[in-house]
Amino acid sequence: MVLDNRHGAFRVPELEIPGSGHGGLHGLTFTVKDVFAVAGHRSSAGNPDWLRSHGPSDSHAAAVRRLLEAGATLRGAAHTDELMYSLGGENYHYGTPVNPHGENRIPGGSSSGSAVAVASGSVDFALGTDTGGSIRVPSAYCGVFGYRPTHGAVSLEGVIPLAPAFDTVGWIAGSTELLLKTGRVLLGAVDSGGDARCEDRKKAYDQLGSADRSGDACSGENRKKSGDLLGSADRSGDACSGEDRKKAGVLLRSANSGGDAQGGESREKEGDQLGSVDSGGDAQGGESREKAGVLIGSVDRDDIACDGENRKKAGDLLGSADSGVGAQSMENSMEQSGGEAVDESAGDLRMSRMFILPEGWALVEQDCVDYLRRGLDKLQAGASLQAAEAVVAPEGLKTWMDAFRELQGAEIWATHGEWIGREQPVFGPDIAARFAWAAGLAGADHSPAAMLRSRITKRLRALLGKDGCLVLPTVPGPAPLRGAGPGQLERSRSSAMMLSCLAGLAGLPQVTLPVPGPGGLPLGLSVIGGHGQDLRLLSWIQEVWK
């Protein structure tokens, strides 16, 4: 049977690998983002120069192998943004998959083809990767279920890396049942092909730059340079200045500039991109930002705070919590659970504590608040839980996002800088600008950002323990229009990253649930679970999201 590619989800629609003929996924079909090794197939990573400079894989990636052994049949290799370094889904070289919920809307990325393939019904489920939101964002924009697991919970063997200390293998499906069924296969016991849950992967998470880079990772010296990584990058925006831009210009060839990583008008727009984000931490303007300031501004900077008045204001903003929601503060909840789950009976995988992130909800576009609130009401009703508002980011979500982008960018250049210098690849303008910015991070002191990440990780893991969850929007609004200006796209990207950086920084699992939005356009509601609580989170969501 010919694979349906009318939405342009697949770079290689003719690829097909039959499953084992038995197992829990027998009779189902899946596709893979074009970054997974498939025996005999050359992965493009969304860039023709990557495709040119790499040969076919000798064997399947570990995750692909597991799914085939469980009976699923692989159909096609799906499009990705170039080297996975975008959340938009627009590929300069191979085109943009069509969002089934709106042909004039971007699909989101970088797992764009994976999300479109599921949303269009071409396959039952799909593999993708998620470093900074690349499963969660396209899933939300395309109206499907997406899952980013605990960092290291699923093997990255045979997957082209972006930033190993943040990379995860995720998956997308059309139902919570299939999301869980796929998770049971991918999160099962370690197979003979190796697993990310090894000492090297642990080191990669704890010490950026020290991960074992399979494939085109940087050489020893470059890896050493990236070991000095994590801390004081220029916060002025995504544009390199002075000598760094000059160096990057030698290494990068933009598809429309003939050599400069970013030229003329594009560079001017890029310089304005991050400047459009409010310095207090919110991309929203007007009333929403004012409300966010009220919610965040009064927080004790040394603690996770959730006092009564702020809870009430957050409840007014969300319109979903009754006056008793905040009766138990976050501190009391953590004290009762010791930051971990209370001892449970065997087989009890329920969540017993739910928190709402008011800083995240303040980023939601005004005409989307009521739709997401109804999604929250549905989740609370299904779980028979009342949620308490908890301000977990007193530093501001923009500060968190800046730290994430800095650490991720340094990792990215450490991983791909050598290949870029050697092969001189042609990138689309926005991707070229991003790599130019990442090049400027090499050799800098990133310890302040790394220390903030450590504090964030401890804070969130202590809050959630094993039986807690944090509810927030996946994205601030529906998918932006195709062809939107770079300033608008960067504002959407920055707001989305303020929401997605929590799980990335702390290595936590996150599921995104489709919620109907204005004009029928999809939105996403996310639930973050405790570290290592992947099957608990997936099982609980399958039970309560009816």
Whole-angstrom distance, CA of residue 197 vs CA of residue 188: 12
Same domain, 292 and 235: no
Q: What is the DSSP letter of 63?
A: H
Q: Which residues are catalytic?
A: 33, 110, 134
Give domain status of residue 513, yes or no.
no
Same domain, 75 and 136: yes
Same domain, 226 and 362: no
Same domain, 234 and 327: no
Task: For the chain of 546 residues, list the mean pLDDT of each consecutive stretch of 10.
Answer: 91 98 98 99 99 98 99 99 98 98 97 99 99 99 99 98 99 98 87 38 39 36 39 35 40 43 36 33 37 31 37 43 34 35 48 96 97 97 93 96 99 98 97 98 98 98 97 98 86 95 99 98 99 98 95
Give the DSSP H or E segment for 232.
none
Same domain, 300 and 430: no
- Give pLDDT tens digits for 491-533: 899 999 999 999 999 999 999 999 999 999 999 999 999 999 9
Same domain, 41 and 149: yes
Phi, psi dihedral angles at 444 (to 5 degrees): -80, 165
Q: What is the DSSP letter of 174?
A: S
Same domain, 303 and 335: yes
- Reply yes or no: is the peptide bond before residue 110 cis, omega within 30 of 0: yes
Same domain, 78 and 195: yes
Same domain, 98 and 236: no
DSSP 324-339: TGGGS-HHHHHHHHTT
Which of 159, 179, 204 represents a domain boundary (last residue)?
204
Which of 204, 239, 257 represents a domain boundary (last residue)?
204
Closest by CA to 126, choosing from 187, 79, 193, is 79
Give domain status of residue 535, yes or no.
no
Which of 155, 175, 204 represents a domain boundary (last residue)?
204
Same domain, 136 and 258: no
User: Looking at residue 2, what is its pLDDT?
Assistant: 78
25 lies in which domain range?
10-204
Give domain status of residue 1, yes or no.
no
Tokens encoding 402: 């800046």
Q: Going along 79-196, which residue ranges are E strands?
A: 125-130, 145-148, 168-173
Give domain status of residue 22, yes or no.
yes
User: Looking at residue 209, what is its pLDDT?
Assistant: 34
Same domain, 47 and 188: yes
User: Looking at residue 347, what is its pLDDT?
Assistant: 53
Same domain, 129 and 243: no
Whole-angstrom distance, CA of residue 294 vs CA of residue 284: 14
Output the domain CATH number for residue 130. Answer: 3.90.1300.10
- Give pLDDT tens digits for 117-170: 999 999 999 999 999 999 999 999 999 999 999 999 999 999 999 999 999 999
Other CB atoms within 10 Å distance of the CB of residue 520: 10
Q: Domain total for the chain?
A: 3
Give domain status of residue 522, yes or no.
no
Whole-angstrom distance, CA of residue 111 vs CA of residue 127: 8
Give domain status of residue 117, yes or no.
yes
Give domain status of residue 521, yes or no.
no
Give domain status of residue 520, yes or no.
no
Those residues with Cβ within 8 angstroms of residue 300's Cβ, 6 or more apart along the chain or in another chain? 394
